[in-house]
């Protein structure tokens, strides 16, 4: 499935946010974003900063894998955030989203999550998409519910949501 990983760049309208597949050159930007305190605080399995060598290994594997997709959200060629979908060890597709802090609460998270849902339908038709959100992450809880994700369960300090086709 890697070869059809929505590799073509989308046609952009200047004022719209678009998603494009991540490329090698995004490695550093994604490293900076993943290690921001608020992003680390939102993680379920990783709470300590990720080291560069691990990030390189993980990022390269992800770009080559049929079980991972990373998209960069852009407007006027300016990177605003990212969406990542990765097959978790439980076999399900898990989604992660990040909007860079100056661009938050402007509806960009909503826009890019909806775009990513369409990409996921094409890449992995019929597969449910799982989001695990910490109970104290108000913006993310609102975001996933607003975009149609349904509550499934509450486990320790996080809530599991699922989106089905």
Chain residues in the site for ligand COA (CB under 6 A): 38-39, 42, 96-99, 104-110, 133, 137-140, 142-143, 146
Distance CA 55, CA 130 (A): 23
* Smallest distance from ligand COA to CB 77, Å: 19
Transcribe 99-141 into DSSP letters: E-GGGTTSSHHHHHHHHHHHHHHHHSTT--EEEEEETT-HHHH
Q: Which of 34/63 has CB closer to ligand COA?
A: 34
- Is residue 77 classed as helix, strand or coil in its secondary structure? coil
Phi, psi for residue 80 in degrees, rounded to 5: -110, -20
* Smallest distance from ligand COA to CB 3, Å: 29
Sheet with 68-75: list strands edge to edge.
18-21, 68-75, 78-87, 93-99, 129-134, 158-163, 150-155
Contact 123, 69 (CB under 8 A): yes
* Smallest distance from ligand COA to CB 124, Å: 19
* Smallest distance from ligand COA to CB 142, Å: 4
* Smallest distance from ligand COA to CB 42, Å: 3
Q: Supply 103's token pair.
A: 């661009």
Report the residue closest to ligand COA, judged by CB.
109
- Is residue 63 classed as helix, strand or coil in its secondary structure? helix
């Amino acid at each position: 499935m890697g070869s059809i990983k929505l590799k073509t760049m989308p046609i952009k309208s200047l004022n719209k946010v678009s998603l494009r597949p991540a490329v090698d050159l995004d490695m550093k930007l994604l490293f900076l974003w993943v290690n921001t305190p608020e992003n680390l605080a939102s993680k379920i399995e990783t709470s300590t900063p990720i080291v560069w060598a691990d990030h390189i290994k993980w990022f390269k594997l992800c770009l080559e894998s049929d079980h991972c997709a990373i998209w960069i959200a852009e407007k006027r060629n300016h990177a605003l955030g990212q969406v990542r979908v990765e097959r978790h060890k439980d076999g399900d597709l898990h989604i992660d989203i990040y909007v860079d802090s100056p661009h938050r609460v402007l509806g960009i998270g909503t826009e890019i999550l909806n775009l990513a849902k369409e990409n996921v339908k094409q890449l992995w038709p019929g597969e449910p998409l799982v989001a695990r959100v910490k109970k104290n992450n108000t913006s993310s809880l609102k975001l996933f519910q607003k975009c149609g994700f349904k509550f499934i369960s509450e486990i320790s300090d996080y809530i599991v949501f699922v989106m089905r086709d």
